[in-house]
A and B are shown apart, each in its own frame.
Chain A
């Protein structure tokens, strides 16, 4: 993402050099060869893309080399790893798309992640906010968070069958358990990271504790919090594969199930294709969430902040409804006087006294 916004070196910045001068070193004293190893030197976008393509080419080259020739003469046998040509062909794509119902299974997996993650967010974010505000709440939840963050999540799968059965509930709750402690701790950290000078300021402006939480701490922590949630969603998307791979009884659906079935039938090509689909989908989701993040917090990322404006509009509407129920506080006399004495430009008699 950063490559696009990185400043491109201006060609006119190069000092004019007389034709007969041999320039061995650039003006900043680094030789041309050292340019590759200059710390943190930005590279042009096309070089970045080229290097990525080179890496892919090498991986595929090795893959091709190891699986070339007839089945019996290969370095790695067909039963272990099919060749690139055997994997990326029309039959295999058709098999994945239609026979294995890729789209439907993808949606099934996504739905599980979204439900489990949404449930975890609804519970963990408010609790995390309280943890970040009040150390005693944090201390109270510390044991649960220590457990939740340190338990290898795969170890919870057998117990989750016992608790939640073998249906959808188990998948959703597995995602919930996998991320709830992380969301809570990240929320608490984001809130605690807001400098206390903002709390002091809000107090001296007459804000109540509730207003400080809702109008100061949460909004100021929101960019960091949203960023954490985006990264954790990626993690949860990884965990759902685990829940779908380890099953009791078949036919649970989801991308993990496609892998399971293909494994049983000996379709290595399908497995490889799914393995390429998974990171592609994860990347697409991550970029989508990042676009939302950018649009929500223009003060952090620039841009027009469409969602930020939309959110402000929603908040204004909520406030209007509230004012309809609870009458607004009138201005103090002095404040009204300040407005009344303001010379209005459209009033001709408001000429300044001479």
Chain B
């Protein structure tokens, strides 16, 4: 996917690093596109409280495009330090306030501007957002209930998804969220989203609060589920290992205000997270990105002074 930039005359060169490949420039939209892009950000900026003393620019002039691949969704990881506007990008795609709408620029999803949230863009949050008053089954069936699907049908499908995310139908379906561990809650959150067959899945550091072992198990689960559902995933994280393991494509952001600085293409993971972490080529990519981020931060600090 080395679509040449529409703004530069010379074709970009790229650089191989381990299992990844750093693109010379962040991919831009070609016009006209052969088919609508999954997501396209064009000169997107978001400023909170513009014109006031406490005005704050979260992201400035963010440009990127995720092309639509036939019969395959891409796994896009957004990597960057805290406060670089990763979540802002995700919530702009989701159409959630107050990030939505963007101050300037346009956010397009499948060729149409984002007008508000919808079930076609499911989202999993870092904070546990299971509905406390609903059982596991009731939580997973929530979206279908809102659509008005008959109770026996939605419960049957919900039980299917309880199995898909590795929970036990007999034991867990009538449990309430407070009886679940963090990992189990996130499994419920993933099932609740995937049951609606979203074309885009937005994940905002979903495993950030989990212990390392659970986190790796969840990464493996997520890869398995994602290959089955053919959706595009946007996964925000500040763990480089997580981004390289999960991502087909990694965006690296810098702070103050947030920008997408670099884009990498990464080979898909061919083994579980625990084993992947020992592969030298995998580590090479991780170290490379670590240096890259340090370099970007040094540059940003120089600009600040």
Contact = CB atoms under 8 A, between A and B. Distances in A.
Nearest to A312: B138
Interface string B13-47: 00000000000000000000000000000000000
A103 interface: no
B97 to A, nearest CB: 9
Contacts of A332: 197
Interface residues of A, number: 37
B119 to A, nearest CB: 3
Contacts of B91: 200
Nearest to B130: A201
B235 to A, nearest CB: 15
Interface in A325-346: 326, 328-332, 334-335, 338-339, 342
Given A297-B133, A299-B132, A332-B197, A339 B156 contact: yes
B96 A204 contact: yes
A220 B132 contact: yes
B178 A299 contact: yes
A331 B157 contact: yes
Nearest to B177: A299
Contact of A201 (B118, B125, B176): B125
Nearest to A300: B132
Nearest to B149: A329
B126 to A, nearest CB: 9
A200 B123 contact: yes
A94 interface: no
A330 B144 CA distance: 10
B131 interface: yes
B157 A219 contact: no
A134 interface: no
B160 A200 contact: no
A241 interface: no
B160 A329 contact: no
A323 B94 contact: no
A241 B202 CA distance: 58
Contacts of B178: 299
Nearest to B198: A204
Interface in A300-354: 300, 316, 319-320, 323, 326, 328-332, 334-335, 338-339, 342
Interface stretch (A7-15, A109-117, A206-214): A206-214
A219 B133 contact: yes
A346 to B, nearest CB: 15
B146 A328 contact: no
A148 to B, nearest CB: 30
B174 to A, nearest CB: 10
Interface in B81-127: 91, 94-96, 116-119, 121-123, 125, 127
Contacts of B156: 339
Contacts of A319: 151
Give the size range of B's interface with the partner.
35 or more
B49 interface: no
B147 A335 contact: no
| Chain A at the B interface: SS class | helix
B129 interface: yes
A204 B131 contact: no
Nearest to A297: B133
A204 B94 contact: yes
B133 A205 contact: no
A194 to B, nearest CB: 10
A219 B176 CA distance: 14
Given A205-B196, A219-B133, A200 B157 contact: no
Contacts of A339: 156-157, 160
A197 interface: yes
Contacts of B176: 298-299
B231 to A, nearest CB: 11
A203 interface: yes
B160 A338 contact: yes
Nearest to B127: A197
B131 A220 contact: yes
Nearest to A203: B117
B142 interface: yes
Interface of B: 91, 94-96, 116-119, 121-123, 125, 127, 129, 131-133, 142-151, 153, 156-157, 160, 176-178, 189, 192-193, 195-197, 202
18 contacts: A195-B127, A198-B129, A198-B131, A200-B125, A201-B123, A203-B117, A204-B123, A205-B122, A205-B143, A205-B192, A206-B146, A300-B132, A316-B151, A319-B151, A323-B151, A328-B148, A335-B157, A339-B160
Interface of A: 195, 197-198, 200-208, 211, 215-216, 219-220, 222, 297-300, 316, 319-320, 323, 326, 328-332, 334-335, 338-339, 342
